[in-house]
């Protein structure tokens, strides 16, 4: 189980968080390349998703009408997908000493369903403690970008998985402030990264934090 794998010689678990269009996918790839240069081959995964069962749940969450679920239903779906992701992909990899980088994790549920949709944050934390053993990453990189810029970027990438993007601007502003609040509340685990600039500047800021926090050479 997850808590049993927190000790010993397990690998490291890194999550990337942020609103729509914050640049997570690009920066995850660049960090993986930097880690590879250090002799560390990281597994790249995502939420919702990252296991066969979780990928099926993903379709329920990222497609369709914006109002198809209420906040609690969304939180339960995300939590179920996360349990499968951890049990099938993350925990086995970490127990083998491998590194895992995930595009989103539990902070997204806190931000989207909690701060964004108004579900009490403590209820979400309770779900996480019950279903996922209160398991958290070694390092969470929260990419921060102004709402208008993020939505502009997200609109350019296209694709059908745009249910959350189509939620109103006020929702996205609450989302951004939620992520910022998470970073402020948990500075030992989280690092807030300004991703409004160019890709190279953001990548350097991420590597600077990761190398220090995880004991890597630059």
- Distance between CA 122 and CA 42 in Å, rounded? 32
- Distance between CA 155 and CA 111 in Å, rounded? 21
Q: What is the DSSP letter of 5?
A: G
Would you give the distance in Å from CA 177 to the centre of its chain?
A: 16
Strand segments (E) across 69-189: 99-103, 139-144
pTM for the model: 0.91
Tens-level pLDDT at each residue, the chain (218 residues) = 454 344 457 899 999 999 888 999 999 999 999 999 999 999 999 999 999 999 999 999 988 888 899 999 999 999 999 999 999 999 999 999 999 999 999 999 999 999 999 999 999 999 999 999 999 999 999 999 998 888 888 777 766 667 777 878 898 999 999 999 999 999 999 999 999 999 999 999 999 999 999 998 66
State the helix-helix crossing angle for 169-185 and 147-157, rounded to 10 degrees. 110
pLDDT, residue 161, reads: 63
pLDDT, residue 7, reads: 46
Domains and CATH numbers, the chain: 9-213 (3.40.50.300)
Residues 6 or more apart in contact with residue 52 via CB below 8 angstroms:
88
């Amino acid at each position: 189980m997850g808590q049993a794998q927190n000790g010993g010689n397990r690998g490291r678990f890194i999550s990337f968080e942020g609103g729509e269009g914050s640049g997570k996918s690009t920066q995850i790839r660049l960090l993986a390349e930097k880690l590879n240069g250090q002799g560390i081959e990281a597994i790249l995964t995502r939420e919702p998703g990252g296991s066969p069962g979780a990928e099926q749940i993903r379709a329920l969450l990222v497609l369709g009408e914006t109002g198809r679920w209420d906040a609690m239903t969304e939180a339960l779906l995300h939590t179920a997908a996360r349990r499968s992701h951890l049990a099938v992909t993350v925990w086995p990899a970490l127990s083998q000493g491998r590194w895992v980088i995930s595009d989103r994790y539990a902070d997204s549920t806190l931000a989207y369903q909690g701060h964004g949709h108004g579900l009490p944050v403590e209820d979400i934390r309770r779900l996480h403690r019950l279903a996922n053993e209160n398991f958290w990453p070694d390092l969470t990189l929260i990419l921060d970008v102004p709402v208008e810029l993020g939505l502009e970027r997200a609109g350019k990438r296209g694709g059908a998985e745009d249910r959350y993007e189509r939620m109103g601007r006020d929702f996205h502003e609450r989302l951004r402030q939620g992520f910022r609040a998470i970073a402020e509340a948990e500075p030992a685990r989280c690092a807030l990264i300004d991703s409004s600039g160019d890709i190279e500047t953001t990548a350097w800021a991420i590597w600077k934090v990761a190398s220090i926090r995880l004991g890597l050479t630059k």
